[in-house]
Structure formats: C-alpha cells, structure tokens
Structure 1
Amino acid sequence: MIFLIVATLAVASAAESEITEKMKEFKIIPDLIQSNVPETLKVEFDSGAIVNMGNKIFPSEARNQPMVDWNADKNAYYTIMIIAPDAPIPTNPFLRSIVTWLVGNIPGKDVQSGDVLAEYFAISPPRGRGEQRGIYLLYKQPAKLHFDEEPIDKYTSKGRLNFSADKFSEKYGLGKPIAGNFYMSEFDKYALVVFDQLQCCVQYNLPEQ
C-alpha cells in the first residue's frame, strides 16, 4: 500500500507542467493562485524580449502591449490578464495585486477583438526596491460573457489595485487558468514615465545615487 501511494505521488509530480513547477518555485502557487497551470503561454514584446518563466525584463523592454500565443479553440472565448503582486514594493506589497492588463471575450486568440477591461501598461518597480513579478494568466471562458467592470484606461490606477485573479475567475465562472507565464521586472528610467502616466507610487522611488 505504501509503495502504491509513493508511486502515485511520483506520477502526479512527474505530470506537473514546467510552468507549474516554476510558479511554485517563485511562490506564485499557492500564494496568489491556488491551482496548477497546465501550459506555458507564449509572450513576446516588440522589443524582442520574451517572457520565459522568471527571466528579467526591464520596463523599457515591456513598454508596449505584448504579443501572446496559445493553443486556442477558434470557437471559444478567452480572458487574459497580467497581475503585479509585489506592488508597491516586495517587502510591503499592500497593493497586491495590481492588474496591468485585462482583456475578456477574446475570440480564439484574436486578442485585438476582445473586450479591453484594463488597458496595458508595463510593470514598473520603483528605483532601488528590488525585482517584482509580472504574472500572465489565461482562462478559457464557458461562453461569451458580460463583464460589469468599468473599462480602465492606461492613465489611471483606479480599479486596478488589490485585484484578485481567483476572485475574478470565481465571479465569472472562468475556472482554473489554462496557461500562464511570468517574468521579473526591475527599475529602469521608463518606470518614471509609467509612474507619471498613472500618477501613482512616485513616493516609493529613491533618489539617484
């Protein structure tokens, strides 16, 4: 019996996706989402930077909305989001999480035809306060949905703070994420552009050394 239990656990562990293992390593699971993520979402910026399970990408490299790709059902609808759980600073993330991009009702993988619930901006850690995680999550919707959130433009932080991926998923019956990815972001000077754009978090920047 003990052998069977050990063998079952070993098989379950071996079946874990690479992105799930990495999300556990970076404490994304279970701190922020409670379920495993079966597939890796492909994410690339026009700067050439590619999101790859915890690699570093600076705000200037991520300034424009990324290109995303996954194994999509052309007859289904999807929701994609990016959340920043370490804001405003990793040692005191009381704004956990900020949603920096949220698009629902994506037909197939035609993101441009989806309903933009929160316009994109680059995750931008304050100067001298360490790295922050940027987490991509993709959900397959049960059907086309009516979202009752007011759309958020890229010039405001209102409505973005203390966002919960799990609560949003529960509200709309999205279930568990079907794909995901994440990267680490660290301050560069483009972050100041984002802070000014959002009129947010400037007080967390340290002076130039």
Structure 2
Amino acid sequence: MLSTLLLPLVSALPGHLYMRYPNSWWITPGDTLPIAETKPIPILQTTLLCTSPYLLLAIDPDVQYGTTSTIVLHWLQSLRADCQTGLLYEDPGSEQTAAYIPPQPPKRSHHRYIFLLFQQPDDYELPECYKHILPATKEARVGFDPKEFVEVLGLGSPLAGNWFYVENGGEPVASEVAPTTTSLKVACTSASARKEL
C-alpha cells in the first residue's frame, strides 16, 4: 500500500515538509500528538522551491469502517511556498480542494496521519469522478485510494512528506490494519478522468 510503504521513506524524499500545530512543537516523523492539539489547520513549511504550486494530500490509513480496513482523506490542498520563509499558504487561484478535517481516531486508540506534498500539474483540475471528496464529511472521504489518485492525476512521486500519530485518550493501542485496503468508492481510472476533462 502506498501510504504504508512511504513511512520509512519520508526522510529520503528530495525536500522536507516541516509542520506543527499552533500549540505543538515542530513534528518529527513518528511523533505522537494528543487529539486536542490537532484541531486547527497545521502550519506547514518546506525546503522546496517557491516557484511552483504544490498539492498536499493528507490521509489516515488506519480506519476500520465496519469490518473493512480503509483510508480516509483528511485534506487536499493546492499550496504555494513563500520565497523568504518557505511557509506554505493556500494557492489563491485554486478551487479544487477538500477542506481540512482534523484527526479523529476512536477513543483509546491512535492513528497515523500522513502528509505528502506533490508537484501540482500545470493543468491541474480535479476530475469529476473525484468531486465526491469535496464535502468535509466522513461519508465523502472514506474509501479514498491515494495510489489510484496519484496515478489518475499523474502526480508522480511525492517531493516531501511528514507523518505522526494522534492519540485519543488512554494508553495508545495500535490499530490492526489489513495489508490491503478496500476502497468503498467507485474506481476512478486515468481513462475515465481523461474522458471527463
């Protein structure tokens, strides 16, 4: 699975994605944060060039939806980097975004949250078959397939990333996630996406 395979490789990506929440420290990959700190939108900073737009993908790969192991999309955002500070800000020209949903692991559990930064294609437009992800609801975001999404949009490999655990009270209990993830949505293929555009 793309999300699990990338975890040990985050530090080997060409750039860095530094992140923190307003009341947290700068996050090192693998850190654990309490759920209360992750409610606001995080502050993001990168070492990547400021001349290109980027696409941020944030997912939770540890979700059990009934008896199905699945992935929830938490954020899809077009970003640009400030040339002086490297701070990332919302690309003012982008409308094809899925608003941030804060981490919501169940009580007495902790989930991984993975943030990946991609080069945004010049002709980026969210295909019609992905418009269902735009509402900030669990129903709209559950069953997201990041590997399929990356392939359909031709994003290539991520340029930078970060990940962390969020715990929700009590002693953390690792989620038992199946090695394969089932998507609960209709597949969106590159052929169908090209047909829609």
TM over 0.5: yes
| Closer, same or farther: CA 47–139 of 1 in aligned 2, 3 Å | same
- Is the contact made by 2:16 and 2:48 (CA closer than 8 Å) also made in structure 1? no
TM-score by length of 2: 0.68
Structure 1 or 2: more strand by fraction? 2
Superposed CA RMSD: 2.9
- Is the contact made by 1:80 and 1:103 (CA closer than 8 Å) also made in structure 2? yes
Post-superposition CA distance 1:151-207 (Å, at most 9, x none): 6233x1233112122211111111000100100111149xxxxxxxxxxxxxxxxxx
Larger radius of gyration, structure 1 or 2? 1
- What residue in structure 2 maps to residue 78 of structure 1? 54
Q: Does 1:161 align with 2:142?
A: yes
- What residue in structure 2 maps to residue 124 of structure 1? 104
Alignment of structure 1 residues 124-163 onto 2, 5 Å = 124-128=104-108, 130-148=109-127, 149-150=130-131, 152-154=134-136, 156-163=137-144
- What residue in structure 2 maps to residue 64 of structure 1? 40
Of the candidates 150, 153, 157, which is equivalent to residue 176 of structure 1? 157
| Closer, same or farther: CA 48–74 of 1 in aligned 2, 3 Å | same
* Structure 1 unaligned regions, length at least 5: 1-26, 190-209
**Aligned-residue identity in percent:** 22
Aligned length: 156
TM-score by length of 1: 0.64
Aligned residue type for 2:22: D
Aligned residue type for 1:74: C
By relative contact order (CA 8 Å, sep 6+), the higher-ranking structure is 2
- Is the contact made by 1:135 and 1:180 (CA closer than 8 Å) also made in structure 2? yes
User: Hey, what's the Cα distance between the residues in 2 that align with 1:30 and 1:102?
Assistant: 18
Moved over 4 A (4+): none
Post-superposition CA distance 1:94-129 (Å, at most 9, x none): 35210111113x34443252445211122121112x
